[in-house]
Amino acid sequence: MFRHFLSERRAVVRAMVWGAMGWTLASGAQAAPRVQVRGSSRVELRAVGPSQQVRVSGSMHDEVGAPIADASIMLSAVVGADTPLDWQHVRSCNGRAMPTGAPHAEHPVQTDDYGAFCIEGELAGRAATIRAVFGGDALHEGTHATARWDADLQSAALAFAPRPERIDLDAPRVVVFGQLTAPAGVSVAQREVTLSDDHARVLGSGRTDDAGMLHIDVASSTFDGPGIGGLKLRFDGGGDLTPAEDSVSVVRVGRVQLRVDTPELRGDPAAGIGLLVRATTTRGAVDGGTVEVTWGSASVGAARVVDGQAHVVAMFAPSRDTRRTELLVRYSPEAPYYESGPSVPIMLTVAYPRMWWRVLPVLGGLAVAAWLLRGWRRPLRRAEPPTALARRAGEASLAVVGSAKDRGTWSGKVVDAHDGEPIAGAVVRVIAPSFGEVDVVAQARASAQGRFEFRIDSGERDLRLRVEDALHTQIERALPPASDMVIAMVSRRRALLERLVSWARRAGRPWDRPPEPTPGHVASVAAGQRQPREDIGRWARRVEQRAYGPEAVDAAAEREVMDIEPGGPPVR
């Protein structure tokens, strides 16, 4: 029956694939195919109890450990190679009967809001292999799992105690604790339990004591590098106990160390000081995050880390009596598996340009001005002095950086507020006050380099500049006079993380923690309350899924997370 079910599913999938290929070839160049990337999934399955009351329970999670709600799973029981056993009198674990009719070989279940499912029923036998098949959905690939059930064995349970959340890769060793429990009168002493990772690679093993407690000591070098993964404790059963296992998602954390090739610098900071910064962990080069240079409390330069390197240009204007000053170089992570190491101090010897180099441009400018006055006999055009360059400080901003190319012409560049990368395709609109629909005066779309330009001949006042992008939050400012601008936008991923950090800091401890609260920490605190705050935990897990998941975060995804955001800090 199970093979017949899979055969039918494969036939349907093949028909859909060939149909889609035929439609694409017939369409030609009329429309490009739409590709959607789906995340992976996994099923945790357990089966215990006598044949008259078999309890099958489990849960569904995605690749980052977030629960998959409303997932449709098909359960079956087979003996030997592929002989099915019929389910009878199936009901949910809370006692509610399920309308299943006559005995049947396959039973469907649906996960709840936490990705869990549990049923009780009867099987016409005393031992079987229980199978759970998830066919996938729009966001997740399909998967399956099996569990061995034997009615003559006592039910055993295995759990992490406590459940680990992070693995410190900078520590020489990592100790994982667990506990094996069984019904009264059954010994749990000297039972072997193994620890494996999400690649099914065994990391270590240990034996339980008389109370069922155990610990497994593993060298940190055994784990993979920084990232999000999973750990599994497994007891293979034996004697009079059923097999048992427990899984948990963990973050493997590496501390980022910075190294500057030139510990002492010399130059004019007003013209820009360039430095190469290398970012590494004990596992090698870092890819991602931002290196920032600060002078006092001001951020004077930043660059994204790519393949372990960041090329930063620090630019600021010190006072005339400053000869030597200190800069600090620090790392700001954008993923939960990197932590900032200590800041690196850099001494800068300020070298101001010589006086005669300053006088020559002034004299040249005066000569050109005199020639223009003499030849054209008309007043010089008054140019607006350029303002300071926009700083990539992680906040949305609009900065005027130069004068207009022509009268009534605006131009500029749209960049990411954190890494300074251009935002291609951003829509720049000039809107006028209106009581009805938005009155668009001018519109331009940013190029692949983030550049845009538009012209306005109208003399209407109170115009506003609105910039929109699918993956960045909207920014709206008063339209400055005709000029060249730099517009910095904040990505929706970072906006969701910043909202969670701000919420945790308003709430205070235990929700806040140095150096910065993470979604995983907030979800853990919510679950550990005397009365667990499931609403806060669900919101924090959804923020983690959107901020660090593979799917793009557009306006709809951002609104979905914001709709379940708690209204205010929890009552202490």
- Domain shared by 194 and 224, yes or no: yes
* Cross-strand partners of 483: 403
Reading the block at residue 203, the tokens are 């990391």
Q: Is 571 domain-assigned?
A: no
Q: Is 391 domain-assigned?
A: no
How much is the pLDDT for 54? 87
- Domain shared by 346 and 419, yes or no: no
How much is the pLDDT for 293? 92
Domain-ending residue, one of 489, 507, 531:
489
- Domain shared by 447 and 550, yes or no: no
The domain that contains 61 carries what CATH number? 2.60.40.10
- Domain shared by 291 and 346, yes or no: yes
- Domain shared by 266 and 222, yes or no: no
25-64, pLDDT tens digit by residue? Answer: 444 444 444 445 577 788 888 888 777 778 888 888 887 6
- Per the structure, the complete domain to which residue 315 belongs is given by 261-350
CA–CA distance, 26 with 23 (Å, rounded to integer): 5
Q: Is 570 domain-assigned?
A: no
CA–CA distance, 165 with 518 (Å, rounded to integer): 12
Domain-ending residue, one of 205, 227, 254:
254
Q: Is 539 domain-assigned?
A: yes
- Domain shared by 86 and 178, yes or no: no
Q: Is 267 domain-assigned?
A: yes
- Is there a contact between 337 and 287 (Cβ–Cβ < 8 Å)? no
Domain count, the chain: 6
- Is there a contact between 328 and 347 (Cβ–Cβ < 8 Å)? no
Q: How far is CA 306 from CA 289, 339, 417, 449, in A?
A: 8, 16, 17, 19
447-457, pLDDT tens digit by residue? Answer: 999 999 998 87
Task: Say how many residues make up the chain.
Answer: 572
Query: What SS3 state is found at 259?
Result: strand
- Is there a contact between 99 and 116 (Cβ–Cβ < 8 Å)? no
Distance of CA 455 to the CA centre of its chain: 39
Low-confidence ranges of the chain (pLDDT < 70): 1-37, 64, 95-101, 352-362, 371-393, 435-437, 458-461, 568-572
Domain-ending residue, one of 200, 220, 254:
254
Q: Is 373 domain-assigned?
A: no
How much is the pLDDT for 571? 56
Beta strand extents in 153-243 (DSSP E only)? 157-160, 166-168, 173-181, 192-197, 202-207, 213-219, 227-235
Q: Is 237 domain-assigned?
A: yes
How much is the pLDDT for 12? 43
CA–CA distance, 519 with 501 (Å, rounded to integer): 8
- Domain shared by 171 and 128, yes or no: no
- Domain shared by 61 and 137, yes or no: yes
Q: What angle do CA 506, 508, 512 make, to 5 degrees?
A: 100
Helices (H), 436-554: 492-507, 519-527, 534-548
How much is the pLDDT for 381? 43
For residue 245, count CB atoms less than 10 angstroms from its CB and return exposed for 0-12, middle for 13-18, buried for 19 or more. buried
- Domain shared by 226 and 299, yes or no: no
How much is the pLDDT for 22? 47
How much is the pLDDT for 551? 83
- Domain shared by 448 and 536, yes or no: no
- Domain shared by 144 and 50, yes or no: yes
How much is the pLDDT for 7? 46
CA–CA distance, 256 with 548 (Å, rounded to integer): 19
Widest distance between CA atoms in the chain? 110
Q: What angle do CA 493, 496, 498 make, to 5 degrees?
A: 105
Question: What is the DSSP secondary-structure string of 521-539?
Answer: HHHHHHHTSSS--HHHHHH
- Domain shared by 215 and 318, yes or no: no
Beta strand extents in 296-389 (DSSP E only)? 298-304, 309-314, 324-332, 338-340, 344-350
Q: Is 479 domain-assigned?
A: yes
How much is the pLDDT for 437? 66
CA–CA distance, 511 with 521 (Å, rounded to integer): 7
